[in-house]
Amino acid sequence: MNRALVVLSLFASFTAGAFAQTKNPVTTVLREIMPRQQKNLIAAVEEMPADKYSFKPTPSQMSFGHLVEHMVGSNFELCAKVGDIPAPKSSAAKESDGKDKLVAALKASFDFCNTAAAKADDSKLGDTVELYGGRQGPRAFVYFALTNDWADHYSAAAMYLRLNGLLPPTAQPKK
């Protein structure tokens, strides 16, 4: 058999199980992405020393504590729209809260995201929801915004860590 056909055959047999048909493919992918992003983002904010939460790479950039505050707010706001449920009233975090409170708030925001994603399904992806700036758009937009935010937030946190001589979680040696 041609070498390319062997590779394609092996790939096809692997992906047949890995990407089997699912009733809610978009929501399923969101749920599959979330644990890794949750693990990495929480590990990144735990890695930064408490005395560096006021660190800003430049005067015009947000502090690391503000970045964590932003992550918390973004998770609560977007995940509420994913699950079509209200965000908890006590979900606000402030950059001045300090490391322990900010880490706890980030963990709570991901707990909320997991709850919200468990209530979600693809049948509501076309529903109109309020987006940033009061614009209206499909709920599907929120799914993409949420996963993009996680990637962006991790990238920013990794940069802040590296500027302080620390390795971000995904760059650390395996334990």
Instruction: Give the pLDDT score at 175.
Output: 77
Distance CA 104, CA 93 (A): 10
Instruction: Give the pLDDT score at 107.
Output: 97
Which domains, ranges and CATH numbers included, belong to the chain? Answer: 23-171 (1.20.120.450)
Instruction: Give the pLDDT score at 16.
Output: 45
The amino acid occupying position 62 is: M
Instruction: Give the pLDDT score at 19.
Output: 53
Inter-CA distances, 38 with 43, 47, 60, 102, Å: 8, 14, 27, 14
Instruction: Give the pLDDT score at 136.
Output: 97
- CB-CB contact of 104 with 21 (8 Å): no
Instruction: Give the pLDDT score at 154.
Output: 98
Q: What is the pLDDT along the chain (175 residues), one digit of tens a residue?
A: 454 444 444 444 444 445 566 799 999 999 999 999 999 999 999 999 999 999 999 999 999 999 999 999 999 999 999 999 999 987 788 999 999 999 999 999 999 999 999 999 999 999 999 998 999 999 999 999 999 999 999 999 999 999 999 999 999 998 7
Instruction: Give the pLDDT score at 90.
Output: 74
- Angle between helix axes 139-163 and 25-47 (nearest 10 degrees) is 20
Inter-CA distances, 163 with 152, 155, 159, 172, Å: 17, 12, 6, 15
Distance CA 2, CA 7 (A): 9
Inter-CA distances, 19 with 11, 76, 123, Å: 11, 29, 20
